[in-house]
Structure 1
Amino acid sequence: MSLSTPSVPSDPAVPIADPRKADHPKGLYTLFFTEMWERFSYYGMRALLVLFMTTAIDKGGLGFEVGKSTLIYGYYTMAVYMLSVLGGFVADKIIGARQSVLVGGIIIASGHFTMAINSTNTFYAGLVLVAVGTGLLKPNISTMVGSLYSASDERRDAGFSIFYMGINIGAFAAPLLTGFLAQHQWFKDWLTNRGFDPNHSWHWAFALAGIGMTVGLITYVRNMRRIAHIGAAPELTTNQRIRNLFLSFVGVAALGGLVWISSKFPTVVGVLGVVITASVIYYAIKGGQEGRHVAAIFVLFAVSIVFFAVFEQAGSSINLFARDFTDTTLFGFTFPSSWFQAANPVFVILLAPLFAWLWTHLGPHQPSSPMKFFFGLVFVGLSFVLMVPAAKLATEGLVSPLWLLGLFFLQTIGELCLSPVGLSTVTKLAPAKLVGVMMGGWFLATSMGNFLSGYLARTFGEGSAEGSLSVFFKDQAIFVLVAAAILLALVPGVKKLMGNIR
């Protein structure tokens, strides 16, 4: 799963120095279960989104073409990250983090239940609601976890580790359960035997995602007294609240405009490239260490866009490869193709402590942040290199599930090299007066990478040539590895811009 929000802290396995302080605030477990169920609802729906859209109408899907489906997927995931920026503003300036989580959860559940209704219009409406709700909930629940501890509390990193374990538990369980309802023949037969249309199994799965979020909300409300001391609304005058509410509406309009402009993709990418390049040059020559730090941040923004453009195809092109070209029978049991989406959180749970130990063990000799970004690009690029021979074999029949497990393993390594480092590096480099702006920039860069993932995936399966599928993976692997080579050449310069910060 994507850590950019993030889902693993920069040091997820830091031991608690004093055993007497091992007890964590009770509010942590309230937030743990709330976020676990929110991630269950999000990843449960995400695992099915492109599959549902590309399934034929007579089989219960929407019958969309691959290109249209992956673009919708890209717009949706882009909106989630963009709205996270606005969600932070709403919490800080209007209703507080505690109420933002509650309102966001209600909107998310409403969105999933809306998608459970068999209609194209309700599908689109549900997507909008889930995106808005996630934008309100996701950034603020993480902020509340941080508010449970003082900056010097030795339990802080361990607390975040517990919290992010909940994220990965939810992300692991979600595709297994929603995928079973949506795709498995046993459940379709169960529906038929009870007089229900088996083609509506998708909507039962969307409803399950809504039930998951509802369970999270019940947990949150019943235990809200444990977090009553954090996440309060700011003390504002009526005029200040009206002003901030107006600015929120302006923000929604601006983000909506950016989504619309993004439909003119080549122009947007060109403009974005010019803006990032100009920003790097401007801040690099502006003088002063702060300016050079900002220039380094913009380089990392560009790298993150490339990374997520490939990594986030897990829900689009890789999901389609799992359904259409992968053998999903194991020991006589046929499992839903969406179950592959559970592989990444499992690998995160297994590998995150190893990476935490590795960086700690290396200490001052560990790679710099730009080098970690380089490794992130290399591993995500290698994951698509691995798929080239798999795609060639797919022309002869269904391929082994080990190919996709290998892809997710490599991508998780890349993810752990880049995602936990990203936000940490931005906060260290950003001038004090620009921390909020730079954090917003990180989320916007991530959102653009998510949109780009949907755009690149649109050509999956196109063409009648026997090697067209392998060309799809080869071209994108080249795209990422060339970007990695460029970054490697720039590493000395970026380190110079960063000064004493690693």
Structure 2
Amino acid sequence: MSKYSKEDIVNSVPQKGFFGHPKGLFTLFFTEFWERFSYYGMRAILLFYMYYEVSKGGLGLDEGTAASIMAIYGSLVYMSGIIGGWIADRILGGTSTVFYGGVLIMFGHIVLSLPGNLTAFFISMVLIVIGTGLLKPNVSNVVGDLYAPEDYRRDSGFSIFYMGINLGGFLAPLIVGTVGQEYSFHAGFAIAAVGMFFGLITFMLTKKKNLGLAGKNVPNPLTKAERSKTYKRVGIGAIIIIILFALTIPTGILTISGLTYIVSFLGLSIPTAYFIVMFRSKKTTTDERSRLLAYIPLFVASMMFWSIQEQGSIILAQYADQRVDLSFAGLGIQSSWFQSLNPLFIIFLAPVFAWLWIRLRSKQPSTPKKFAYGLMFAGVSFLIMMIPAIMNGDNLVNPLWLVLSFLLVVLGELLLSPVGLSATTKLAPAAFASQTMSLWFLSNAAGQAMNAQLVKLYNIDTEVAYFGILGGASVLLGIILFAFAPRISKLMKGVN
């Protein structure tokens, strides 16, 4: 079982040194800054790289296929968090898993930076998917390790951490996007690789002094017998998957369209199985089971929210490239720059929310109510996109409509995402700490798994209905969640 107690871990971390927060927040803030720089930089140009013609440096895929690939790629990135959470909980612990994940991400971006065909593209995607799965859930879980359970700074700390994520996300599209669209997609991907390299250097140079024992625990380690059996099963499973791909892809049995349906099924079935396993486990206490029940509606709300938010890099990116007037106030705008709007607004608003939660303390809205407000803002961000479609028809629209849409979804994101990260660390069963954080990211995977099917429905003729139906569904779900918030709070057993 765990080698160190929660008290041992908290006491090993310098509790002051980064804006009134534990010093370890500095290490994790800048590690995640560079990791997100590499990820969002790559993603800002990935859709365009896929559907731009080969003569323009792209892969020449059709737009619908490119949009579906973006969705399944995003879903698999977060779905792979299961692997990262399991490895941290049972083999390596959080900090070591974070490092190995960063190495895989860097190599994935290096492959993308080299001229290649569709096969090389998918190899790079596999590396980035697995690497992000190792790094993403565990770096957030280590943030939770920095604070005592009753520390009122926790939500504020996650908001500051979230701002670090978005500093990287803001700069990346401006730098990588400009280089990628003005000069070469591969040059843009190379800059993303350098960003991940800087993240690894930051982590290695500061972790010993700043993190102490945070992320060192292996909460539920494999026994020697389990280890041997697990390695054998993983090896056999990998061989089977490779053989299946080798037989079905060249023969046309497995197509990209077929893959989207498989990912959509996995995106919904895996979190369901996860909830069942944790709920029925003998290592889960009665109070922890109650908290898991409270977590289910939060998970569903998060899934709906991310379905809308993640379309900012798919449908709204395509919208920016094809439907927006890119000449504004005498300036030429790159369509990739719109990907900086979301993190830009978070940079300015995250400190406001961090201050607000500390200011309100016990008077702040409950976690379920914060989620409900977040869903409503996300829904309105889509509903307002109906207006330019109705007013302008097929004509190019003013870019300020997109700016407003991104602003509204950011307000929802700050109510839901950092709060969800914090709630996950508090609601997680002790034996499944990192894996529950993986479950939180599975809500994003599930939302994007739905998107793999939804984005196929979008075109200029369905634009009004598309934004209206999805936006309306999110607002309605937010209202329902708000109504049931008191009951959900009771199931959380003292967790706010």
User: What is the TM-score of this pair, normalised by structure 1?
Assistant: 0.79
- Going from structure 1 to structure 2, the CA distance change for 1:255 and 1:479 (only over 3 Å counts) comes to farther
2:37 touches 2:172 (CA, 8 Å); kept in 1? yes
1:290 touches 1:431 (CA, 8 Å); kept in 2? yes
1:149-164 matched pairs, under 5 angstroms: 163-164=161-162
2:35 touches 2:196 (CA, 8 Å); kept in 1? yes
CA distance in 2, matches of 1:491, 1:370: 5
Residue from 453, 458, 477 that aligns with 2:471: 477
CA distance in 2, matches of 1:278, 1:146: 24
Residue from 66, 76, 86 that aligns with 2:73: 76
Amino acid paired to 2:90: K
CA distance in 1, matches of 2:276, 2:119: 42
Amino acid paired to 2:98: V
How far has the Cα of 1:52 moved from its partner? 1.7
2:306 touches 2:443 (CA, 8 Å); kept in 1? no
CA distance in 2, matches of 1:312, 1:222: 33
How far has the Cα of 1:115 moved from its partner? 1.0
How far has the Cα of 1:364 moved from its partner? 4.0
2:113 touches 2:187 (CA, 8 Å); kept in 1? yes
2:144 touches 2:425 (CA, 8 Å); kept in 1? no
Name the residue aligned to 1:191. Answer: none
Name the residue aligned to 2:198. Answer: 215
How far has the Cα of 1:451 moved from its partner? 1.8
Query: Higher mean Cα deviation, 364-373 or 207-216?
Result: 364-373
CA distance in 2, matches of 1:430, 1:255: 31
CA distance in 2, matches of 1:447, 1:205: 26
Residue from 397, 400, 404 that aligns with 2:398: 400
CA distance in 2, matches of 1:255, 1:300: 33
Name the residue aligned to 2:97. Answer: 100
2:138 touches 2:437 (CA, 8 Å); kept in 1? no
Name the residue aligned to 1:171. Answer: 169
1:193-212 matched pairs, under 5 angstroms: 201-212=184-195
CA distance in 1, matches of 2:444, 2:21: 32
How far has the Cα of 1:171 moved from its partner? 0.8
1:66 touches 1:458 (CA, 8 Å); kept in 2? no
CA distance in 2, matches of 1:167, 1:176: 15
Residue from 140, 163, 168 that aligns with 2:138: 140
Name the residue aligned to 2:372. Answer: 374
2:17 touches 2:23 (CA, 8 Å); kept in 1? no
How far has the Cα of 1:474 moved from its partner? 1.4
Amino acid paired to 1:461: N
Matched residue count: 461
Name the residue aligned to 2:112. Answer: 115
Amino acid paired to 1:410: L
Query: Higher mean Cα deviation, 217-226 or 439-448?
Result: 217-226
Name the residue aligned to 1:61. Answer: 58
1:100-499 matched pairs, under 5 angstroms: 100-118=97-115, 119-147=117-145, 163-184=161-182, 188=183, 201-223=184-206, 225-226=208-209, 229-230=212-213, 231-232=215-216, 241-243=227-229, 245-246=231-232, 263-264=261-262, 291-432=289-430, 435=433, 438-461=436-459, 465=461, 468-498=462-492
How far has the Cα of 1:229 moved from its partner? 4.5
- Going from structure 1 to structure 2, the CA distance change for 1:485 and 1:459 (only over 3 Å counts) comes to same
User: What is the TM-score of this pair, normalised by structure 2?
Assistant: 0.80
- Going from structure 1 to structure 2, the CA distance change for 1:179 and 1:478 (only over 3 Å counts) comes to same
How far has the Cα of 1:223 moved from its partner? 4.6
- Going from structure 1 to structure 2, the CA distance change for 1:446 and 1:248 (only over 3 Å counts) comes to farther
How far has the Cα of 1:444 moved from its partner? 2.1
Q: Output the aligned Cα RMSD.
A: 3.9
Name the residue aligned to 1:196. Answer: none
Residue from 70, 83, 87 that aligns with 1:90: 87
- Going from structure 1 to structure 2, the CA distance change for 1:481 and 1:89 (only over 3 Å counts) comes to same
How far has the Cα of 1:130 moved from its partner? 0.8
How far has the Cα of 1:56 moved from its partner? 2.3
1:377 touches 1:484 (CA, 8 Å); kept in 2? yes
SS at match of 1:263: helix
How far has the Cα of 1:432 moved from its partner? 4.5
How far has the Cα of 1:391 moved from its partner? 2.1
- Going from structure 1 to structure 2, the CA distance change for 1:251 and 1:500 (only over 3 Å counts) comes to farther
2:181 touches 2:334 (CA, 8 Å); kept in 1? yes
How far has the Cα of 1:418 moved from its partner? 1.4
1:347-397 Cα deviation digits (max 9, x unpaired): 112112222333444444433222222111111000011100122344352
- Going from structure 1 to structure 2, the CA distance change for 1:316 and 1:347 (only over 3 Å counts) comes to same
1:66 touches 1:460 (CA, 8 Å); kept in 2? no
How far has the Cα of 1:290 moved from its partner? 5.2
2:94 touches 2:216 (CA, 8 Å); kept in 1? yes
CA distance in 2, matches of 1:251, 1:233: 28
How far has the Cα of 1:40 moved from its partner? 0.4
Amino acid paired to 1:83: S
CA distance in 2, matches of 1:42, 1:412: 19
Structure 2: which 5+ residue stretches go unaligned? 1-14, 245-255
Amino acid paired to 1:204: A
2:88 touches 2:434 (CA, 8 Å); kept in 1? no
1:94 touches 1:245 (CA, 8 Å); kept in 2? no
1:392 touches 1:469 (CA, 8 Å); kept in 2? no
CA distance in 1, matches of 2:366, 2:292: 17
Amino acid paired to 2:480: I
1:303-355 Cα deviation digits (max 9, x unpaired): 21111111110110011111111122234321211111111111112112222
CA distance in 2, matches of 1:488, 1:391: 31
- Going from structure 1 to structure 2, the CA distance change for 1:250 and 1:312 (only over 3 Å counts) comes to farther
CA distance in 2, matches of 1:208, 1:336: 18
Structure 1: which 5+ residue stretches go unaligned? 1-17, 189-200
How far has the Cα of 1:243 moved from its partner? 4.6
How far has the Cα of 1:105 moved from its partner? 1.6
CA distance in 2, matches of 1:398, 1:92: 51
Amino acid paired to 2:411: I
1:108 touches 1:213 (CA, 8 Å); kept in 2? yes
1:96-142 Cα deviation digits (max 9, x unpaired): 43332332222111101111223211111111111111111222333
Query: Higher mean Cα deviation, 233-242 or 215-224?
Result: 233-242
SS at match of 1:399: coil
CA distance in 1, matches of 2:147, 2:433: 20
CA distance in 1, matches of 2:96, 2:264: 39
